Amino acid sequence: MNKLDNFKAGFIKENPVFALYLGLCSVLAISTTLNNAVGMGVAVIIVLTVSNVIISAIRKVTPSEIRIPVYIVVIATLVKIVEMLIQAYATDLYGTLGIFIPLIVVNCIILGRAEAFASKNNMLDSLIDGIGMGLGYTFGLIILSAIRQILATGILNFSNPFTSEMMFEVRLIPADYVISLFSTPAGAFLTFAMIAGALEAYKSKASKKVKEVK
């Protein structure tokens, strides 16, 4: 796989959320607003990218018997740094995301990429993989959050996480036609299932076209 394919894999083919089904606990829990999606997405991108690079750098000196504990220590340290920065500079976002920030430590995406990719590849490829997978996770989270927010409230908005200043707000569905179900856990599962199903249908159709060409 070349570097461009490695970078693009996280968006469709190996999207962490809708193709690999990783990190779904936080995705389903916080995907109620665009603000939550962007905040969590940025945090995961930072942790995933930096941890990939560090783990790739130490992979040859890390004994295989203790590699998982070492990976967890690296990831936990990075998560704590990110958590402290969010608490200091984006207090509203910190209050909204709450316990899900420290739970990034046990996010399957982070540890999974460390074990499956960073521990076997060089630092540059691991950097690209971290950015690509992180953006893929964020892309999936934003799509899910935007759909849920629009259907549940009729409004799509986003505010500056550092100042809480509203950056944009638009009503797309009249208040009388919103479906409050989509703000609940059941709505999260329903929205996720529809998007995952649509993605699988797209991948299946694309695969059939490739076979027909061959």
- Write out 136-179 in H/E/C secondary structure: HHHHHHHHHHHHHHHHHHCEEEEECCCCCCEEEEEECCCHHHCC
Summarize pLDDT for 163-175 with one digit per residue, the tens: 778 888 999 999 9
CA atoms within 13 A on the CB side of 113: 38
Summarize pLDDT for 22-50 with one digit per residue, the tens: 888 889 989 999 999 999 999 999 999 99
Given a contact cutoff of 8 angstroms between Cβ atoms, the answer to whether 162 and 42 are in contact is: no
Summarize pLDDT for 100-155 with one digit per residue, the tens: 888 888 888 898 899 989 999 999 999 999 999 999 999 999 999 999 999 999 99
How many domains, in total, are found in the chain?
1
Q: pLDDT band at residue 214, thresholds of 50, 70 and 90?
A: low
Range of the domain at 97: 3-213
Given a contact cutoff of 8 angstroms between Cβ atoms, the answer to whether 32 and 152 are in contact is: yes
